[in-house]
């Protein structure tokens, strides 16, 4: 063998020995410094004090495997809050080559007993570790996959006596998207209120170590089988889907919902209710600001904007909305309010302030409404009621001979009427004012109350008719009423009569208000 070949073999062998020696040194360094490297990286990434009860490393060349137990990260070293992150047990796997690369790479991490507790807004002291420079180093670390089952996410609150928002993450899968520290995620979680299952995918991070509530998040979601029956007074199974983006402190959501069997339990009539919405969600306390919501059911479209917001020291959230409708039907609205079939049908224009406070009582006792309404082409679904309206119109025009009985009224064209006024609902009582009910030949002005349960009326006002009182009937009654014409007359012709409407809404009683 020539000296040149011998020299080549010596060089090759020396190189191999050097590489092997270097790898041995790397393995020794990894074994000795792995725990400190893990603790230091987590400390800088999450601005937290790290506690780790045990950590073991093995190097089955060319892999590095680690196992640890009882990992706790205390945000900014604080002991007055639950750990920012707690892991009962974790395992990780990487290649030596991946760890030697400038962008260190962890192939796989599996965590058990994961608990994430996001601290309340404003709880950051702004002190402690200078996280920004350290995070630049940590963000050179990439994860091919992080897998967790049955994790828990809690959004802590600083409000006294208020429980944190809690989500059960049945499945959580994460992986690095680049060198900025952001993680792509896929998760299935159980929503606490209303109960249901959310499937979501998106991008989380990079983690804001100084102010966790400002950590960015974006993605899409589907929400299935949400049981609205958990809220007192309503029922139905809701589904929703949409997209979101923002930071934990303020997430913008665009989505749709569908509840095919939505109902107010007091009335019990199911309707197919759908919405399109843009909302801003405070991820730290669950408060939601609707900007706006388009609601559709039956032949009715409503536009609402407002907020769903908690109150310090009180359980539950208050819904405050400004609601308007230019394309709606009164019968659709009454399906949500009355137990029997809607007593009337008509297009309605509506504006109202809607406030629903939390509590165990039925919705009418927790609801506050204040607004105005305007109905055109109104007619009553009960034939006996519509007959009275038809006959009142004919009598008011001085045509008593055209008055018909119930059977004839069913076959004849209904007289349409108009209704407008103002309303205020509070403590289960609907107070009506400025009510103006107009029909051919007559105008009725009323004010009074309507009890939402047991659906009773007490309205009083006046009836103005074109005809004189004696012209509203025939025969001997007409002769007798001629003596009353001067008492109820309105100028040279016409009549003004004080009236009242009382009793159940399905079968109201009409009469003279003799006290006036």
Distance CA 338, CA 245 (A): 40
Pairing of strands 237-247, 271-281: unpaired
Give the total number of structural domains in the chain.
Answer: 2
Spell out the long-range contacts of 165-168 with Cβ–Cβ below 8 A and sequence spacing 24 or more: 165/192, 165/285, 165/286, 166/192, 167/191, 167/192
**Tokens encoding 3:** 């000296």
Nearest CA to 433 among 372, 358, 502?
372
Distance CA 24, CA 375 (A): 87
Residue 144, domain member (yes or no): yes
CB hemisphere CA count around 474 (13 angstroms): 6
Domain boundary among 179, 214, 249: 214
Residue with tokens 């009083």: 460
State pLDDT tens for residues 291-343. 889 999 999 999 999 988 877 667 778 888 899 998 999 999 888 878 888 88
**pLDDT value at residue 447:** 93
CB hemisphere CA count around 226 (13 angstroms): 22
Main-chain phi, psi angles of 171, to 5 degrees: -140, 140
Residue with tokens 């007055």: 80
Distance CA 165, CA 31 (A): 40
Residue 378, domain member (yes or no): yes
**pLDDT value at residue 141:** 61
Residue 222, domain member (yes or no): no
Distance CA 203, CA 216 (A): 8
First to last CA, the chain: 133
Residue 241, domain member (yes or no): no
Distance CA 378, CA 289 (A): 36
Distance CA 210, CA 132 (A): 9
Residue 156, domain member (yes or no): yes
Nearest CA to 347 among 309, 287, 299?
299
Instruction: Tell me the residue range of the domain where 23 lies.
Output: 7-214
**pLDDT value at residue 1:** 52
**Tokens encoding 66:** 């680690």
Nearest CA to 295 among 248, 262, 318?
262
**Tokens encoding 166:** 């809690």
Domain boundary among 164, 179, 214: 214
Residue 287, domain member (yes or no): no
Q: What string of pLDDT tens digits covers the 516 residues of the chain?
A: 555 544 444 444 334 444 444 444 444 444 455 566 666 666 666 667 778 888 777 766 677 777 888 888 887 777 777 888 888 888 888 776 666 665 667 778 888 888 888 777 665 544 443 434 433 444 456 677 888 888 888 877 766 666 777 778 888 888 876 656 788 889 888 777 788 888 999 998 887 777 777 888 899 999 988 888 887 778 889 999 999 999 877 889 999 999 988 988 878 889 999 999 999 887 667 788 888 899 999 999 999 999 888 776 677 788 888 999 989 999 998 888 788 888 889 999 999 998 888 877 777 778 888 999 999 888 888 888 888 888 888 888 888 888 877 665 555 556 888 999 999 988 888 899 999 999 999 999 999 998 877 778 889 998 898 988 888 888 888 888 888 888 888 766 688 888 888 888 777 887 877 665
Q: How many CB atoms lie within 10 A of CB 76?
A: 21
Q: How many CB atoms lie within 10 A of CB 463?
A: 21
Residue 447, preceding peptide bond in cis (omega within 30° of 0): no
Phi-psi region of 268 (alpha: psi -120 to 50; beta: other; left: phi over 0): left
Residue 296, domain member (yes or no): no
Domain boundary among 187, 214, 241: 214
Distance CA 164, CA 154 (A): 6
Beta bridge partners of 435: 446
State pLDDT tens for residues 346-403. 999 999 998 888 877 777 778 888 999 999 888 888 888 888 888 888 888 888 888 8
Residue 164 per-residue DSSP state: P
Residue 347, domain member (yes or no): no
């Amino acid at each position: 063998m020539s000296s040149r070949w011998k020299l080549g073999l010596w060089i090759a062998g020396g190189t191999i020995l050097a590489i092997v020696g270097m790898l041995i040194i790397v393995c020794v360094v990894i074994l000795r410094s792995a725990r400190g490297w893990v603790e230091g990286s987590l400390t800088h990434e999450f601005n937290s004090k790290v506690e780790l009860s045990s950590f073991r490393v093995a190097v089955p060349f060319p892999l590095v495997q680690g196992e640890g137990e009882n990992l706790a990260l205390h945000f900014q070293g604080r002991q007055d809050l639950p750990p920012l992150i707690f892991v009962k047990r974790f395992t990780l796997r990487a290649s030596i080559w991946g760890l030697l690369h400038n962008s260190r790479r962890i192939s796989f991490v599996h965590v058990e007993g994961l608990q994430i507790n996001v601290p309340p807004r404003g709880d950051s002291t702004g002190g402690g570790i200078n996280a920004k420079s350290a995070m630049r180093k940590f963000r050179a670390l990439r994860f091919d996959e992080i897998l967790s089952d049955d994790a828990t996410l809690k959004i802590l609150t600083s409000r006294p006596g208020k429980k944190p928002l809690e989500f059960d993450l049945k499945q959580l899968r994460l992986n690095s998207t680049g060198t900025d520290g952001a993680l792509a995620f896929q998760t299935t979680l159980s929503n606490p209120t209303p109960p249901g299952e959310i499937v979501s995918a998106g991008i989380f991070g990079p983690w804001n170590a100084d102010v966790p509530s400002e950590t960015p998040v974006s993605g899409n979601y589907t929400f299935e089988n949400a049981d609205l029956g958990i809220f007192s007074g309503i029922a139905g199974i809701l589904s929703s889907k949409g997209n979101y983006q923002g930071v934990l402190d303020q997430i913008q959501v665009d989505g749709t919902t569908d509840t095919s069997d939505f109902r107010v339990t007091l009335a019990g009539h199911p309707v197919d209710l759908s919405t399109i919405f843009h909302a801003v969600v405070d991820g730290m306390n669950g408060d939601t600001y609707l900007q706006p919501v388009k609601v559709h059911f039956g032949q009715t479209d409503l536009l609402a904007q407002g907020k769903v917001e908690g109150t310090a020291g009180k359980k539950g959230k208050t819904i405050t909305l400004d609601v308007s409708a230019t394309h709606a039907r009164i019968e659709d609205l009454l399906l949500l309010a009355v137990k029997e079939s809607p007593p009337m049908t008509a297009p309605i224009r509506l504006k109202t302030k809607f406030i629903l406070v939390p509590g165990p009582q039925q919705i009418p006792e927790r609801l506050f409404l204040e607004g105005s309404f305007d109905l055109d082409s109104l007619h009553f679904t009960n034939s006996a009621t519509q007959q009275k309206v038809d006959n009142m119109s004919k009598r008011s025009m001085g045509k008593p001979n055209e008055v018909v009985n119930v059977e004839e009224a069913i076959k004849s064209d209904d007289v349409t009427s108009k209704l407008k006024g103002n309303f205020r609902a509070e403590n289960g009582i609907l107070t009506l004012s400025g009510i103006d009910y107009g029909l051919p030949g007559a105008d009725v002005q009323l004010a009074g109350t309507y009890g939402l349960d047991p659906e009773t009326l007490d309205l009083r006002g006046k009836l103005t008719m074109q005809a004189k009182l004696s012209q509203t009937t025939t025969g001997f009654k007409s002769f007798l009423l001629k003596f009353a014409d001067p008492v109820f007359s309105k100028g040279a012709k016409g009549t003004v009569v004080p009236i009242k409407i009382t009793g159940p809404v399905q079968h109201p009683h009409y009469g003279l208000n003799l006290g006036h």
